[in-house]
Structure 1
Amino acid sequence: MRYGTGRSSLALFGMLCAMGPAISAAQGYPSKPIRVVVAFAPGGGTDVYARLIMNRLGERLGNARILIDNRSGGGGYIGAEIAAKAPPDGHTLFFTAANIVMSLKLYPQQPVDPMKDFRPVSLLVKEPSLLVVHPSLPVKTVKELIALGRANPGKINYGGGHGTSSHLNTELFKYMAKVSFTQVPYAGGTGPAVIGALIGEAPVMISPISAVMPHVNNKRLRALAITLPERSAALPDIPAIAENLPGYAAFQWYGVLAPAGTPQEIIGRLHEELGRVMQLQDLRSRIAGEGSISMSSTPQEFTAHMREEAVKWAKVVEVSGAKPN
């Protein structure tokens, strides 16, 4: 006589039923266009890389249609909240920049906790920033900018939306250089701040390189320095800020998050396909040409990176006295 057959069969049946939706979701994914929320206006570094990378992801996912949804404002948290509250089915993703954790100390009461409300998929790009000035500003070096800033405390404007990398990178620069610039907090992120630099309204900016390099090349902005610890091999004629301010270093970075609750099978599929996208030679060449670094992390590595960045920039906010508004 066999005992326990019915109970074992019921257990197996229950396990298969539980697995079924996840398996079918992964097999049928994507079943409609994928919305990629970008928390900043068109034209900034986040938008540029989102379009560059995510459209290639769509090709890998059976030519799925990718819809870039720019939702700027609130230091990036408006877009983050929209993405976090979307159905966790893989059809809404959040293409994030470093600000999502850089500004946690500035905005402790935000409705989104990036460490709890999202599942990291992959860290994709690390990008240095450039310290640029409008050509009307009578400086050609970091040393000259520091001298001008000290001689004119509070009279020189810099551009950067609240909580963005441009904001906090410049606050770190101000603290280390002992200068006083006045923030012009453009809404919408890097794109509007670049326009402010181009028209001379806020003639100083530390911007992700992808957003300002075209304007440096056509002489509409002057590059004084790069935020890497040392000069970039791709841009050897541009000094590092650290040559004048030892220890200064800052990266912008970009990656993909999915709403918490997104099935592991879909996270795995996205991670796998993004890894293949980031190996495409033409894409890597384009990113390297911008002075940036291509990468493809595991979700676990991306989680650890976000936690480390949150700790680092919380300290920067504390010591620099950076304010949210």
Structure 2
Amino acid sequence: MIRKPTVLNLAQLVLRSWLFGLFLFATSAGAQEFPTQPITLLLPYPPGGSADFLARPMMAELQKKFGQPVVIEYKAGAGGTIATNALAHAKPDGYTVLMVLSAHAINPALYPSLPYDTMKDFAPVSLVARLPLLLVVKPSLPVHTVSELVAYAKANPGKLSYGSAGNGNTSHLSSEMFQKATDTKMVHVPYKGSGPVVVALLGGDIDLMFDSFSTSYPQVQNGKFRPIAVASAKRSALLPDTPTIAETVPDFVIDGWYGIIAPAGTPKPIIDKLNQTFNEVANIPSVKAQLNASGYDIVASTPEAFAKTIEKDLITWRKAVKESGAKIE
């Protein structure tokens, strides 16, 4: 027997529809008004690093677009996982976002257990930029090419030291992969971000490093660092005479990226507004020109495209970590 809906059932359906419509209206209205208070941009590394270099030229324009202060909060350490965990526990209202680097997709393969789920606990907002890694050495090291570096490392096993922006960072994993690909052995010295590791190489505390173009390029220009090669698929327009590593070590290519994520559950209209604003700001001619001059390639994307980038890199880096034998020390 088929029962006809009772008056109570019909009333419940009407009430649910009304409540759902009210929710959609409130969400849409909230997104139109957003933001009505300051926005916090978390950075997973200390001041002076590549994430900082990318965020700072955008700050004034972001504040103009949002009509609210945008405050940078540095939460360095543990390969970016401290800041990422903080975001996972932030209120999903769009007022706290995080700039993530490629390490965001590397960490699940490196850390035995993370206090968050990389895919489920976050809402991708936008890919912002790509930036090649630069292999640099201190000027006193008697090597000028990848071949010479490999030969020197093999003749002095375990004596060369390389710095990284932290355990599990792209600079760490790149160095591990380089050793694996060239059958060399060097000593790892981790720091809390690109800024401190740059200072260490300037002071001669380490011999070499893979570092983001933005933080090492100025030191190359003033003769403090010697560039050996770039880890990208093609040479950099800023250093056209510096070869790629792949020209000596076939298929050795490391792609670094930067993007914005929010806590999972952040309303879609707010995600879309954040996406639109970050994209617009990154592509303002003056901002873009300044970032391009530091080696950044602006590649703003949709939230969906950024999600696919993260998902793809989770697979790529898991394989790279396994093959390289890289471990958190």
Shorter-chain TM-score: which interval? over 0.9
Which residue, 45, 52, 66 being the options, matches 1:61?
66
How far apart are the structure 1 equivalents of 2:127 and 2:35?
21
The answer as to whether partners of 2:131 and 2:212 remain within 8 angstroms in 1 is yes
Deviation at 1:261, TM superposition (A): 0.9
Which amino acid in structure 1 is aligned with residue 43 of structure 2? V
Which amino acid in structure 1 is aligned with residue 196 of structure 2? P
**Which residue pairs with 1:21 in the alignment?**
26
Pairing 1:118-267 to 2, within 5 Å after superposition: 118-160=122-164, 161-186=166-191, 188-267=192-271
Please list the CA deviations of residues 197-243 of structure 1 after superposition, one character each: whole Å capped at 9, or x if unmatched. 11111121000100111111111111111111221233211111111
Deviation at 1:14, TM superposition (A): 1.9
How far apart are the structure 1 equivalents of 2:244 and 2:220?
16
**Which residue pairs with 2:38 in the alignment?**
33
**Which residue pairs with 2:3 in the alignment?**
none
Deviation at 1:59, TM superposition (A): 1.8
The farther-off stretch of 140-149 and 119-128 is 140-149
Secondary structure of 1:215's aligned partner = helix
Which residue, 318, 322, 327 being the options, matches 1:323?
327
The answer as to whether partners of 1:230 and 1:243 remain within 8 angstroms in 2 is no
The farther-off stretch of 223-232 and 257-266 is 223-232
The answer as to whether partners of 1:196 and 1:203 remain within 8 angstroms in 2 is no
Deviation at 1:23, TM superposition (A): 2.1
Deviation at 1:20, TM superposition (A): 3.4
Deviation at 1:293, TM superposition (A): 1.0
Are residue 295 (structure 1) and residue 299 (structure 2) matched? yes
The answer as to whether partners of 2:231 and 2:245 remain within 8 angstroms in 1 is yes
Deviation at 1:313, TM superposition (A): 1.2
Secondary structure of 1:131's aligned partner = strand
How far apart are the structure 2 equivalents of 1:42 and 1:305?
26
Which amino acid in structure 1 is aligned with residue 114 of structure 2? Q
Deviation at 1:254, TM superposition (A): 0.4
Deviation at 1:54, TM superposition (A): 4.4
Please list the CA deviations of residues 42-87 of structure 1 after superposition, one character each: whole Å capped at 9, or x if unmatched. 111012112223442222112x211110101111101111111111
Pairing 1:42-53 to 2, within 5 Å after superposition: 42-53=47-58
Change (3 A) 1:310 1:260: same
Which amino acid in structure 1 is aligned with residue 141 of structure 2? L
Pairing 1:64-143 to 2, within 5 Å after superposition: 64-143=68-147
The answer as to whether partners of 1:235 and 1:291 remain within 8 angstroms in 2 is no
How far apart are the structure 1 equivalents of 2:159 and 2:125?
43
Are residue 273 (structure 1) and residue 277 (structure 2) matched? yes
How far apart are the structure 2 equivalents of 1:107 and 1:168?
13
Output the aligned Cα RMSD: 1.7
% identical aligned pairs = 38
- Return 5+ residue gaps in structure 1 as ranges: none
Secondary structure of 1:301's aligned partner = helix
How far apart are the structure 1 equivalents of 2:121 and 2:305?
17
Output the TM-score relative to the length of structure 2: 0.93
Which amino acid in structure 2 is aligned with residue 34 of structure 1? I
- Return 5+ residue gaps in structure 2 as ranges: 1-6
Please list the CA deviations of residues 304-324 of structure 1 after superposition, one character each: whole Å capped at 9, or x if unmatched. 100111111111111111111
How far apart are the structure 1 equivalents of 2:61 and 2:183?
44
The farther-off stretch of 11-20 and 204-213 is 11-20
The answer as to whether partners of 2:97 and 2:261 remain within 8 angstroms in 1 is yes
Secondary structure of 1:137's aligned partner = coil
How far apart are the structure 1 equivalents of 2:118 and 2:55?
18
The answer as to whether partners of 1:158 and 1:204 remain within 8 angstroms in 2 is yes
